[in-house]
């Protein structure tokens, strides 16, 4: 009923505590024969090291660095706030978290920052990735210096990052398509898409999923080429208003990036009897208002708080050297409508 300790292992293997410790921590200076005796004892006893005791003894501290894009994007600012709050809580678990900001979409600046990280001062990094080769290279160098790396919200496929914490954006797009298709059922027409920029990986993935579903499941709707709003509300408003005015057959709008205030404004300008169903991303003050006044039908959301917690947990697990690296629960795409707002 009481767990075996290294004392038990040492006794059964007929060695001292230090030798057991050497084996456990893969340190050298143990003969192969001794090592295997110890390993046998560990196996026989079903020994599992007490991580809390180990950390206490070595005075372990986890020094993490979160790297976020700077700028006015309200989702990113919420994320920053969540990091700050979780950082306070993490202190109790001997985890100190520092936040760094880099200009949005600036791969060079991000890579420079990554390169400047000193393994003497940082054990692990969580970054909102910009999808570029310089960043991949910088990540590889970080890993080479022994720093753990995970991506957050925006992934960096093909890099040496050890994990990703965020939503599956293709699936998010599929979900949007599934909802909007159903909302527009019986009103065949055209559906407009708004994105930040097709160069942003997340948006490209969302579009992919969205189009997949609409083409196969709701062929009565046709899609018009996406508006690139650059996450700027004025630009979004102007371009979308123009399209809506030019084409009275537009029955639905899917906005996959930021700048949702612009979408709401463009819709508000329509004649009241025209019904356009709308699905957007990220629950903010503005999208919330738009849900409540009926101009948006659904908002897809990712819980940034859970993402931060997930990244912290994943980094700590990586640093504890657990293998296989235990997966954290995947982040779900949440769906909000007027009637289930939190």
* Binding footprint of DNA on the chain (CB under 7 A): 2-3, 5-7, 14-19, 21-22, 24-25, 28-31, 33-34, 47, 49-50, 53-54, 56-59
Nearest residue to 125 (alpha-carbon basis) of 103, 104, 102, 98: 98
Please tell me whether residue 169 binds a second copy under the rule CB under 8 A: no
Residue showing tokens 């990220």: 282
145 interacts with, out of DNA, a second copy, none, CB within 5 to 8 A per kind: none
Please tell me whether residue 121 binds a second copy under the rule CB under 8 A: no
Would you call 116 helix, strand, or coil by DSSP?
A: helix
Please tell me whether residue 334 binds a second copy under the rule CB under 8 A: yes
Cα(256)–Cα(101) distance, integer angstroms = 24
Count of residues interacting with a second copy (CB under 8 A): 39
256, 287 in Cβ contact below 8 A? no
312 interacts with, out of DNA, a second copy, none, CB within 5 to 8 A per kind: none
133 interacts with, out of a second copy, DNA, none, CB within 5 to 8 A per kind: none
Nearest residue to 210 (alpha-carbon basis) of 218, 200, 201, 199: 218
Q: Bridge partners of 22?
A: none
122, 113 in Cβ contact below 8 A? no
Break the chain down into helix, strand, coil percent, rounded to 5.
Answer: 45, 15, 35
Out of 7, 185, 215, 274, name the contact with a second copy by CB under 8 A: 185
End-to-end CA distance of the chain: 44
Indicate the residue among 7 and 215 with the shorter CB distance to DNA: 7
Q: Spell out, one character per residue from 190 to 229, where the chain touches a second copy: x when CB under 8 A holds, - when not.
A: -------------------x---x---x------------
Ramachandran area for residue 231 (φ above 0: left; ψ -120 to 50: alpha; else beta): left
Please tell me whether residue 274 binds a second copy under the rule CB under 8 A: no
213 interacts with, out of DNA, a second copy, none, CB within 5 to 8 A per kind: a second copy
Q: Give residues in contact with a second copy (CB under 8 A).
A: 48, 50-53, 55-56, 92, 171-172, 174-175, 177-179, 182-183, 185-187, 209, 213, 217, 277, 297, 303, 305-306, 329-330, 332-335, 337-340, 342
């Amino acid at each position: 009923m009481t767990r075996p300790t290294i004392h038990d292992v040492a006794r059964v293997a007929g060695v001292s505590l230090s030798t057991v410790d050497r084996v456990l921590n893969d340190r050298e200076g143990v003969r192969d024969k001794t090592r295997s005796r110890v390993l046998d004892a560990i196996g026989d006893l079903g020994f599992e090291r007490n991580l809390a005791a180990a950390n206490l003894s070595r005075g372990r501290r986890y020094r993490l660095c979160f790297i976020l894009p700077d700028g006015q994007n309200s989702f990113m600012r919420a994320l920053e706030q969540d990091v700050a709050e979780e950082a306070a809580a993490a202190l109790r678990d001997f985890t100190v978290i520092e936040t760094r900001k880099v200009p949005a979409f600036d791969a060079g600046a991000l890579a420079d920052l990554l390169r400047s990280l000193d393994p003497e001062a940082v054990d692990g990094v969580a970054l909102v990735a910009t999808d570029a080769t310089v960043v991949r290279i910088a990540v590889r160098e970080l890993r080479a210096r022994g720093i753990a790396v995970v991506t957050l919200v925006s992934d960096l496929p093909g890099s040496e990052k050890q994990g990703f914490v965020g939503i599956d954006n293709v699936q998010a797009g599929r979900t949007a398509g599934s909802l909007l298709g159903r909302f527009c059922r019986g009103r065949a027409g055209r559906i407009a898409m708004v994105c930040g920029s097709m160069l942003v990986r997340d948006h490209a993935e969302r579009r992919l999923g969205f189009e997949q579903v609409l083409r196969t499941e709701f062929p009565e709707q046709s899609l018009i080429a996406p508006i690139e709003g650059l996450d700027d509300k004025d630009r979004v408003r102007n371009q979308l208003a123009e399209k809506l005015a030019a084409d009275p057959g537009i029955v639905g709008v899917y906005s996959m990036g930021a700048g949702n205030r612009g979408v709401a404004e463009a819709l508000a300008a329509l004649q009241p009897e025209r019904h356009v169903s709308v699905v957007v991303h990220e629950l903010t003050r503005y999208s919330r208002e738009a849900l409540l006044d009926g101009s948006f039908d659904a908002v897809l959301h990712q819980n940034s708080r859970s993402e931060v917690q997930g990244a912290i947990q994943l980094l700590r697990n990586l640093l504890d050297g657990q293998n296989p690296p235990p997966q954290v629960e995947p982040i779900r795409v949440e769906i909000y409508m007027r009637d289930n707002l939190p």
